[in-house]
Copies of this chain bind each other. A is one copy, B any other.
Amino acid sequence: MIHIGIYNEHKLMGTGLAAILEQVPDFDVLFCTENKDKLMVFAQNGNLNILVLAIHDTSVRTMNLIVRLSLINPKARLLVVSFDNSEETIIKIVKSKAKGVLGREASKKELIEAIYTLRNGFDYFTSSISQMVLNQYINKLETPENKNEGLDSLSERQIEVLRLWGKSYSNQEIADELFISVRTVDAHKNHIMQKLQLKSMVELVKFSIKNNIIEI
């Protein structure tokens, strides 16, 4: 008997998952909740084998939730079902201690397969996802020099310029604010673009949002 818990912010969908799993004789659904606090209590159950987490975003809160769950009950293995199966999201989930990941294209059969696999002590990733992870790994190998793509590679001054620019300041306004020449502001932006390998201002805005420099 495999004891399973379900968490889904979308209550109806959680109930749906439960309905699927209850069809399998080996499976026993211990709980199914859309409430985070209740989840934290239920998750401490010593009998719990598998915890199915359906997530709808990849916010810091959500990722922290996964980490916390893996800490409060290491015996319960985490199976994350994610609607968003972009490369970025998958990497985030894998990093956050999940033992298995299913994407939006997963089938009922795959869900059941994944649970058995996790129960047997192995990790499970949907084929499309494992391919993705592999690609990511290969890319890492191919660039021995870490591209240093993140915020860390930027200097304080560069971030400051980016921050003001993100507030819709013009170059002139930024220059006035920082008591430097407009050309310097321009140079800073150029250096940032070069360093981050971005093609356009649109991508720079996206980067800034991802890194919490610009609020949306």
Contacts and interface: CB of A to CB of B under 8 A. Distances in A.
A203 interface: yes
A203 B104 CA distance: 31
A15 to B, nearest CB: 5
Given A56-B56, A209-B216, A210-B216, A15 B200 contact: no
A63 to B, nearest CB: 16
A11 interface: yes
Contacts of A199: 168
Contacts of A36: none
A108 interface: yes
Nearest to A167: B202
B11 A104 contact: yes
A139 B72 CA distance: 46
B216 A202 contact: no
A12 B82 CA distance: 10
Interface in A113-146: none
Contacts of A10: 13, 83, 104
A110 B179 CA distance: 46
A54 B210 contact: no
A23 interface: yes
Contacts of A149: none
Interface of A: 9-13, 15-20, 23, 34, 54, 56, 81, 83, 102, 104-108, 110-111, 165-168, 170, 199-203, 205-206, 209-210, 214, 216
